[in-house]
Structure 1
């Protein structure tokens, strides 16, 4: 069965999520109070509706509680974002993801029960910064304010050495959770797994520890 999603707010962030979910074959209801935006998504989403989501009767009439996951991607109107989230919570929506404008907004959203809060601009900024300052880091995914998963290209200094030889966990406090090798992915590699040329290490840990590990790659 296809999962059913509702996306509230069809700006750049909400619109991108709406398109991506549709491309993945999901059922998506797109909602915005701007008729022009709704018309733009009428041929993309499963349903596209003009509506004021700060009005409980509107959300009830859309059957919003029947959706497995609702994404609140309202742009600059923090009050509308908070009120919409509160109503969704009171209506019993199973899972709510909300875009936050700032840390204060996030704090309020978490207090009223948002399941997941995202800062798309901030997080993307961090991701881009992480990638452009390092030649070794290919990709970066923030897990929390202090922990991440990164893809790091194996440097010449560690090629031919095993994970146990490198003793990365003891020295740096990070874990290699997988290795990408050509088209294969080695999940939870064993201690005597030897690092090959062009291997990509998928590393998880605190940002400070990952940074220490990445800086030391050329000095190991």
Structure 2
């Protein structure tokens, strides 16, 4: 099966990290930046690396950007360049364009001009860290929409020895346990009557307000 081809525009901390990770996973990646030093840094990491102004439509056409299935726009502080690049990419027919937003206003504009996915790494990481600061039992927290998230939580003392039937998390908190991680195994169809262990990790999905109640009442140890 042919591997999906990616292009990353903007090789700062965020874009550079994506470029490295995709490359390490063996994916074909074209690294793009207007800064020669940054491009040179990635020429031995990405499949290809080019110096290019992404707001120049002709330059993007020349490198065949429309042939890439997924383009990530990770331009730093230049919001105007980010917006213009996104418009050009969609006009050229790129199948999926993911764009890093600098702020909520930038995000609204990107959504209006047709970005397929908008990410807000600083805000999202802040949310994940805040939940982790509240309790060491909250291992990860990922926003799915404006008001729904998925959380990875270590079983709290109040849950040890009890089954999902006894806890009845769905009825009591409006959340759904979609999987249980036990060691290296992930059970996506957990038995409702199995007793939870102290080293189990629950994957829970729900509305933010419901997840918050669940965390406060069951996850956070007194």
Equivalences for residues 82-97 of structure 1 within 5 A: 82-97=83-98
| Range that drifts further, 200-209 or 14-23 | 200-209
2:65 corresponding residue in structure 1: 64
| Range that drifts further, 136-145 or 20-29 | 136-145
Distance in 2, matches of 1:130 and 1:188, equals 26
Contact 1:97 1:117 in 2 (8 A): yes
Q: What TM-score does the superposition give when structure 2 sets the normalisation length? A: 0.95
SS in 1 for 2:55: coil
SS in 2 for 1:86: helix
2:80 corresponding residue in structure 1: 79
SS in 2 for 1:30: strand
SS in 1 for 2:195: coil
What is the CA RMSD across the aligned residues, in angstroms? 1.5
Residue 96 of structure 1 deviates from its aligned partner by 0.4
SS in 2 for 1:196: coil
1:27 corresponding residue in structure 2: 28
Equivalences for residues 121-136 of structure 1 within 5 A: 121-136=122-137
Residue 77 of structure 1 deviates from its aligned partner by 0.6
SS in 1 for 2:206: strand
Contact 1:136 1:214 in 2 (8 A): no
> Which digits, 9 at most, give the CA deviation of each residue in 1:89-139, with x for residues without a partner?
000000000000111111111111100000111111111111111132111
**Count of aligned residue pairs for this structure pair:** 220
Residue 196 of structure 1 deviates from its aligned partner by 2.1
> Which digits, 9 at most, give the CA deviation of each residue in 1:128-164, with x for residues without a partner?
1111111321111111222111111112222222211
| Range that drifts further, 140-149 or 23-32 | 140-149
SS in 2 for 1:203: strand
Equivalences for residues 153-192 of structure 1 within 5 A: 153-192=154-193
1:100 corresponding residue in structure 2: 101
Q: What TM-score does the superposition give when structure 1 sets the normalisation length? A: 0.96
The runs of at least 4 aligned residues of structure 1 exceeding 4 Å deviation read none
In structure 1, list runs of 5 or more residues that go unmatched.
none
1:18 aligns with 2:19: yes
SS in 2 for 1:144: coil
Distance in 1, matches of 2:62 and 2:16, equals 22
> Which digits, 9 at most, give the CA deviation of each residue in 1:147-204, with x for residues without a partner?
1111111122222222111111011000100001122111032332321231111111
Distance in 1, matches of 2:149 and 2:61, equals 38
